[in-house]
Structure 1
Amino acid sequence: MAMFPLPRRCAHLLFPVLLTCSAAALAVPVTDELDVGGAIRARFDHDPDRDIDKAGFDTLMLRATYTSDSWIGAARYRFYGKQYPYQYTDHIGDVAFAEYAWVGYRFDADRQVQVGLNQVPFGLQPYFGSTFYETLGNVVGLEDVSAVGAKYIQQQGDWNLQAGLYGRPAWPGRGTSNGSTYSTVVTSADDYVPEGTRNQERQIVVARLARSLQLGEWKSEVGVSALTSRLENKDTHDAGRRNAYALHYLGQNGPWSVQLQAGRQQMSPRNPGSDEVVSFGGYDGTFNVASRGNLYVGDLSYSFPGTFVGGWVSGMKVYGNYSRFDKSATGFDASERFILGTSFSVRSFYIAVEWLNGRNDPYIGGSSYTDSLARGGTDHWENQLYANVGYYF
């Protein structure tokens, strides 16, 4: 595993936090049904090409879950700020938003409904692979997305049906940008985005159907997803559409796991200028995404059975993940992301270490943040080392 030096000033901030968290887990089972807890995480970024060598606070998360025979619910809220990459803010909490917040009812063991801010059922669930950093599916608004509405889930033998009807994307949180949500969603561009658009997404309808089956030695799942929504432009006061669909496969054979997905996103906005881009936002930033393109994801992982170091280390996994966004517009360069990583637990700490590689990727290697997922950025591969250490309670 590659190692990199930590800046002394960041280490001084980080180590007291970790020492404090080394006490017994603090999750509080308030009742037999209600549990509250959270996590505190640190992040490490190393990119010598950009002279980045950072370590410090990443996230504070607070959560609550409720489970009874009939009623269920969950909520989680995240706090960021002050430390890299939010060093432009003054305090922790200057960037903050809800990840999810919903209540639900279970009709029986196989049927339930969730109402509120819940995860949109599209493609591989809950993520498009094993990576902590997530895939390009996340930054084009299809992976790990929550919206406000109702979702129905039914398990019927080997078949799983999920269908959602959402009035709008996640509620805005706190930040310095129009992209003040956990999920990457259609939003009005900030002033710094060249040729940015001002759309809002409404009336989101999505369905996902998957079947479990045995294919030789592989315990498998195959599925299809479809999403459609209304794109309302704030400048032209006209409405277009956003359509997306995907096929996915998940296979497991002992310690080996394979995840594959192919899909297409096709948006027809009614912008006052070019209709080739739609502005998206999240995590306190906004950027342009090509209106039309194909998304491909492949993930291979190996999970080591048992524990190590006298039972201190468990859940060790190594993985490789590749994602590609091929844009349909002439002259728009494809975006690619390739991640090699490992994740494991050391008692109550969850650790992920990943080597990130990106081409025309807004988040990796300093390519154009605002235009990489549209026309493109540096159009050559960039890389950096990333690690995240979380204490969950």
Structure 2
Amino acid sequence: MIEKNTHLPFPKPFCLAFLVLLMVLPVFAQETPELKIGGALRFNYNLSSWKEGQKKRGGDFGYDMFRINAEAAYKGIFLNAEYRLYSEGFGGGFLKQGWVGYNFNEQDKIHIGLTQVPFGIQQYNSHNWFFNLSYYVGMEDDHDMGVKYLHSGEKIEYQLAFFKNAEELRFGNNTETSPNRYSYDITGRNKEVNQINGKIVYKFGKEAAHRLGVSLEYGGLYNLDTEEMGDHAAFAAHYEITKGKWNGKAQFITASHNPENAQGESRDVVAMAAYGAPYEVASDFKMYSLGISRNVPVTWGPVSNVQFYNDFGYMQKEALGFTDSYMNVTGVLVSAGSVYMYIDYAAGYNHSWLGGNFVDDFSKGNPDAKWEARFNINIGYYF
């Protein structure tokens, strides 16, 4: 009898080769350590269409997040870290990113640690405070634990990465992944392991105004009950244009998850979590997104720029009987020195954070759902 292969073949040699690489890296002559400390404090006002009590009192205004950023460099090795502190109801404190890196030259570098997954339009596939639908399924501004190689040429950019797993906060033998995290990852009885990513972008036009790219992702899903390895895969085609004061983003994603769940458990959904709260996501889906923005320079006292934008996302679920999800955000970003204020009208249909029942809006959904909306103002001082 042939046993199922429960371990992907590449992790051990990959890691050994990487350790050897670190040992032979040349050392720059930089003898003076450099350190930069920054951060942000943000507050949030929101008024939601589905919250009757909140509407009667005119919305709520309160604490959003405090963060600390640290950048350091010494003898050619540099560090980038960001720690965020949210309220207890949104997961409390956790590391958004934290990695060490090395620049081989002006075009080539390497990152090790909790670093952004090279997939789709980066840094964000959106302009607004809410992100786009891709964020809520782990495919926008995602960060995982691994190693990433980056090349940035005049016409071609590419990134290659291996991620051992998502942020691991509990190191038990069969411990579920903690939901207290910034970016969405697989949680529950499955764990993301041994993931490889590749992304390439072709830049063309004056000042590389056009960015056309594709991204690939493949990795394992280790099930804690069956102790067997499933897998997941995703592909994205993306295009971004910056022309004067205009910016546009268009992206297509197809993704599939194949967990080796215990008998009787559905394989049409996977559990994902961030900000301390898990929910279900359809295992197989296609996603379409389109965003546009325009900057308007102004001289209104401390206000120097106003950016208008609209971001749209559509999630087409593959499982029979599942209802699709939509999201649209129209808003404006006001920049005044170190203060940035997002004013958004975010509307969602079968969207966990926009009026849904949260648990299964991104999986089976509700065919009788209606569009809900949230008016949101986020004010942040960045230092």
Q: CA deviation at 1:243?
A: 0.1
**1:18-77 CA deviation, whole Å, 9 max, x = no partner?**
xxxxxxxxxxxxx87210121111011102441321101110101101246832220010
Q: CA deviation at 1:309?
A: 1.3
Instruction: Classify the secondary structure of the residue corresponding to 2:134.
Output: helix
Q: Distance in 1 between matches of 2:130 and 2:33?
A: 34
Instruction: Classify the secondary structure of the residue corresponding to 2:135.
Output: helix
Instruction: Classify the secondary structure of the residue corresponding to 1:128.
Output: coil
Letter aligned with residue 47 of structure 1: S
Residue correspondences, number = 338
> TM-score, with normalisation over the residues of structure 1?
0.82
Instruction: Classify the secondary structure of the residue corresponding to 1:304.
Output: strand
Match of 1:375 among 336, 360, 364: 364
Match of 1:162 among 151, 159, 163: 159
Q: Distance in 1 between matches of 2:164 and 2:306?
A: 40
- 2:179 aligns with 179
Q: Distance in 1 between matches of 2:162 and 2:35?
A: 27
- 2:308 aligns with 318
**1:299-321 CA deviation, whole Å, 9 max, x = no partner?**
0111113x4213x1123200000
Letter aligned with residue 287 of structure 1: Y
Q: Which runs of 5+ in 2 are unaligned?
A: 1-31, 171-176
- 1:72 aligns with 78
Q: Distance in 2 between matches of 1:222 and 1:97?
A: 33
Structure 1 residues 313 and 32: CA distance shift in structure 2, 3 A? farther
Letter aligned with residue 260 of structure 2: R
- 1:296 aligns with 288
Q: How does 1:37-186 map onto structure 2 within 5 Å?
A: 37-51=38-52, 52=54, 53-67=59-73, 70-81=76-87, 86=90, 95-172=92-169, 178-186=178-186
Q: Distance in 2 between matches of 1:320 and 1:69?
A: 44
> TM-score, with normalisation over the residues of structure 2?
0.85
Contact 2:168 2:178 (C-alpha < 8 Å) held by counterparts:
no
Q: CA deviation at 1:379?
A: 2.6
Instruction: Classify the secondary structure of the residue corresponding to 1:137.
Output: helix
Letter aligned with residue 115 of structure 1: I
Instruction: Classify the secondary structure of the residue corresponding to 1:383.
Output: strand
Q: CA deviation at 1:172?
A: 3.1
Q: How does 1:228-247 map onto structure 2 within 5 Å?
A: 228-247=218-237
Q: CA deviation at 1:132?
A: 1.5
Q: Distance in 2 between matches of 1:142 and 1:41?
A: 24
Contact 2:220 2:232 (C-alpha < 8 Å) held by counterparts:
yes
Contact 1:151 1:164 (C-alpha < 8 Å) held by counterparts:
yes
Q: Distance in 1 between matches of 2:313 and 2:292?
A: 12
Q: Distance in 2 between matches of 1:353 and 1:74?
A: 29
- 1:191 aligns with none
**1:191-218 CA deviation, whole Å, 9 max, x = no partner?**
xxxxxxx100100100110010128x99
Contact 1:97 1:172 (C-alpha < 8 Å) held by counterparts:
no
Q: CA deviation at 1:240?
A: 0.8
Letter aligned with residue 181 of structure 1: R
Structure 1 residues 200 and 294: CA distance shift in structure 2, 3 A? same
Q: How does 1:8-27 map onto structure 2 within 5 Å?
A: none
**1:254-301 CA deviation, whole Å, 9 max, x = no partner?**
111110000101111111211100000111100000000001110011
Structure 1 residues 129 and 347: CA distance shift in structure 2, 3 A? same
Q: CA deviation at 1:237?
A: 1.5
Letter aligned with residue 271 of structure 2: S
- 2:195 aligns with 204
After superposing on structure 2, the runs of 4+ consecutive aligned residues of structure 1 that deviate more than 6 Å are none
C-alpha RMSD over aligned residues: 1.9
Contact 1:69 1:106 (C-alpha < 8 Å) held by counterparts:
no
Q: Distance in 2 between matches of 1:170 and 1:308?
A: 43
Contact 2:272 2:280 (C-alpha < 8 Å) held by counterparts:
yes
Q: Distance in 2 between matches of 1:69 and 1:333?
A: 54
Contact 1:62 1:77 (C-alpha < 8 Å) held by counterparts:
yes
- 1:309 aligns with 300
Q: Which runs of 5+ in 1 are unaligned?
A: 1-30, 87-93, 189-197
Q: CA deviation at 1:329?
A: 0.3
